[in-house]
Amino acid sequence: MRPESILLQNISPEDLKQLISEAVEEKLIQFQPQQAKNTKYLTRKETSELLKISLPTLNEYTKSGKVKGHRIGGRVLYLESDIEQSLTEIETFKYKRS
C-alpha cells in the first residue's frame, strides 16, 4: 500500500460528505479566477474620449492592431486594461548646448 493512498473503512456517508466538502472549500478559497481583476469594458465612444481621438481614428487603430477590440454581438467593446497596455511612453531627450 502506498503512503499517499487512503483506505476508507468504517466511515459513514455523512462523514465522507463532510471530508469532501472541507477539501472542496479549501480549494475554492485558493482559487482566484483570472478575469476577477478589475475588468471594465468601454464602448467605442468612451474609448475615443479616453484617448482623445475621433471614432474613425479609433476604427483605424483597431483595424491596424494598435488597439485591441472585442466584438460582442454587433458591438465592439474595449477592455480598459488593453487600452492602458496599448499606450506607449515616449522618451524625451534633453540636449545640452555647449
- Could you tell me the residue ranges of all domains in the chain? 41-86
Q: Can you give the pTM of this predicted structure?
A: 0.54
Pull the grid cell for residue 3: 503512503
Q: CA angle at residue 64 from 78 to 42, to 5 degrees?
A: 10
pLDDT confidence tier of residue 11, bands split at 50, 70 and 90: confident
- pLDDT tens for each residue of 15-63: 889 989 998 988 888 876 655 556 889 999 999 999 999 999 999 999 9
